[in-house]
Amino acid sequence: MSEDDTHNWEEEFEDEVQDWKALNSRFASLNLADESIPKRSDKDFDVDHTSVQSYALQEARRQMFLALDHIRGHHEKLFLAGVWIESEEMTLVPHAKGNFFKDMGIPHNFDCKPKLQGCWLTPVETIYLVERGSLLLYLSDTSFENYLVSDEANFDFTSLKQISLSQLYAIAFATDPSLHDKYQVYSLLKRLGYIVRPFGQRLPQQLPISNKDRRKSSFISNVWHTLAFLGHTYRNVIHNHALGSLNFFNYRLMFKEIQYIPARLPLEPCPEKPVASELSLDFEIWKPSTNFRKKDPPPSHYQLCVVNIQEQKFPCFTEIVKLWKQAGIPAAKVQAITSNNSTAKNKRNVMPEKKKASVLLNLAITYTRVRDAKLKQGSSGRAIVIAAVDNGIVNFSSFGETEFRLTTTDFNKDLSCVMPQTDHGIVHLEETMI
């Protein structure tokens, strides 16, 4: 077979439609270990209005709906369940297993279950796993709270109320609407293979629910019911005795007379979360790597801030400087700058003896490379990434702190080792240009 025939055969094979009969036969055989793709069937490009073609089309449609009607599920060993803890606004996975938790979540150790390893998931991480079908989410209740403080290792999650994806959106995004933009950026980077973790994530200090909190809540509930009963009784006494002997000429007098001292203190308004006017870093990002350890992560490659352009303006220079200070100087970038300096020195030391012109040329090339590396990585090594979300479209912009004058002592010293010079910057003063 020639190359042209092979190419045409591959194009014809791609144009063929899925054979649903083969898929149904695979379900019937229950050979779940077979991961081969079913053979494709023939495709008619022209309608000839014959009974044979109509029957074939009807049969293909029937097989398609039959294939979609099969029960879809997963193996019991791959079952992964999480419970949404409303007080913590996080998800607790009691049996954390799988490759997802190598770079996701916060480990949690149970005091009463030493052999059980749990994991906390943020709302963004929870939505990501539920969306891709890797996690079944349930809502916590009293039985699960008792399970947390007991020594039992197993729990029947089917007794809890399952949370659908739409309900999870409503629960997670209700408290913080900006989580929607953060999730868009998070899911995009995760699908591209990056390792993404919340910036400055810390372990929770204790279990979300304890016996002490449960006793406290029950005591408050009993006091509340007692005060409500006294208020209802006092209102009935006023209505039966005070209103029967009075005559009212307008509603204002009547409303004034039926006022009574409430049986409970007026409820104070719930303190609202202060809206942060200043931007802050949201995520730390690492390039794809198989050697990543969540317990001891290496310095991150990027620090990212999510900004919704529809709700606020793009960060100004002052805000970017504050983000630089928050990010600090990553050790990875400082190490890269130092390695560039050492390679420049080594090149100078092992440089072969040549003519004077060739030596000066090599020094100039080395000097330019070292200086360009310093300008690119910045005088402080600090750089941030801003993810601008505009109607679902995400644009990434990197901002590094660079001093074009290169007046920093350490950088000046390193460049002087390659080529001694008073000024290594690329910005000239006005008096030197006249």
pLDDT tens, position by position, 85-134: 988 889 999 888 888 888 888 888 887 887 788 889 999 999 999 998 88
Domain over 177-203+249-336+354-433 is classified CATH 3.40.1350.10: yes
Confidence of residue 275 (pLDDT cuts 50, 70, 90): very low
Could you give the CA distance from residue 36 to residue 26 in angstroms, rounded to a whole number?
A: 10
Q: Do domains 76-175 and 177-203+249-336+354-433 have the same CATH topology?
A: no
Q: Which residue has the higher pLDDT, 371 or 93?
A: 93
DSSP structural state of residue 391: T
pLDDT at 56 over 60: yes
Residues 298-309 pLDDT 10s: 888 889 999 999
* Mean pLDDT over the full length of the chain: 72
Residues 231-248 pLDDT 10s: 655 555 554 554 444 454
pLDDT at 124: 94
In percent, the amount of the chain with pLDDT more than 90 equals 14
Q: Which residue has the higher pLDDT, 195 or 326?
A: 195
pLDDT at 223: 58
pLDDT at 34: 52
The most confident of the ranges 245-259, 310-324, 336-350 is: 310-324
C-beta of residue 327 within 8 angstroms of C-beta of residue 384:
yes
Could you give the CA distance from residue 93 to residue 107 in angstroms, rounded to a whole number?
A: 10
Could you give the CA distance from residue 293 to residue 159 in angstroms, rounded to a whole number?
A: 35
Average pLDDT over residues 168-189: 90
In percent, the amount of the chain with pLDDT more than 70 equals 57
The most confident of the ranges 168-182, 232-246, 371-385 is: 168-182
Sequence-distant (≥ 6) Cβ neighbours of residue 17 within 8 angstroms: 40, 41, 43, 60
pLDDT at 153: 81
Tokens of 223: 């006091």
C-beta of residue 27 within 8 angstroms of C-beta of residue 47:
no
Q: Which residue has the higher pLDDT, 344 or 49?
A: 49
pLDDT at 44: 60
160 three-class SS: coil
pLDDT at 416: 73
pTM: 0.60
pLDDT at 175 over 70: yes
Neighbours of 62 (CB within 10 A): 13
138 three-class SS: strand
DSSP structural state of residue 157: G
Parse the chain into domains and list their residue ranges: 76-175, 177-203+249-336+354-433
Phi, psi angle pair for 227, to nearest 5°: -65, -40
Query: Looking up tokens 């970017």, which residue turns up?
Result: 320
> Which amino acid is residue 327, in one-letter code?
A
pLDDT at 127: 94
pLDDT at 379: 63
The most confident of the ranges 36-40, 169-173, 381-385 is: 169-173
pLDDT at 125: 93
Sequence-distant (≥ 6) Cβ neighbours of residue 149 within 8 angstroms: 112, 207, 209, 210, 211
Lowest mean pLDDT segment, chosen from 342-346, 357-361, 415-419: 342-346
The most confident of the ranges 113-127, 216-230, 324-338 is: 113-127
Range 76-175: architecture per CATH: 3-Layer(aba) Sandwich (3.40)
Using only C-alpha atoms, the chain has a radius of gyration, in whole angstroms, of 34
Tokens of 33: 């270990």
Residues in the chain: 434
C-beta of residue 406 within 8 angstroms of C-beta of residue 415:
yes
Average pLDDT over residues 331-347: 47
pLDDT at 254 over 90: no
pLDDT at 389: 93
Confidence of residue 392 (pLDDT cuts 50, 70, 90): confident
Average pLDDT over residues 30-41: 54
Average pLDDT over residues 243-264: 53
> Which amino acid is residue 290, in one-letter code?
T
pLDDT at 385: 92
pLDDT at 29: 54
pLDDT at 265 over 50: no
pLDDT at 134: 87
How far lies 168's CA from each of 63, 69, 86, 124, in Å? 34, 26, 12, 10
Q: Which residue has the higher pLDDT, 404 or 384?
A: 384
How far lies 318's CA from each of 279, 303, 389, 400, in Å? 11, 17, 20, 13
Confidence of residue 23 (pLDDT cuts 50, 70, 90): low
Confidence of residue 63 (pLDDT cuts 50, 70, 90): confident
pLDDT at 344: 44
Tokens of 92: 């607790």
pLDDT at 221 over 80: no
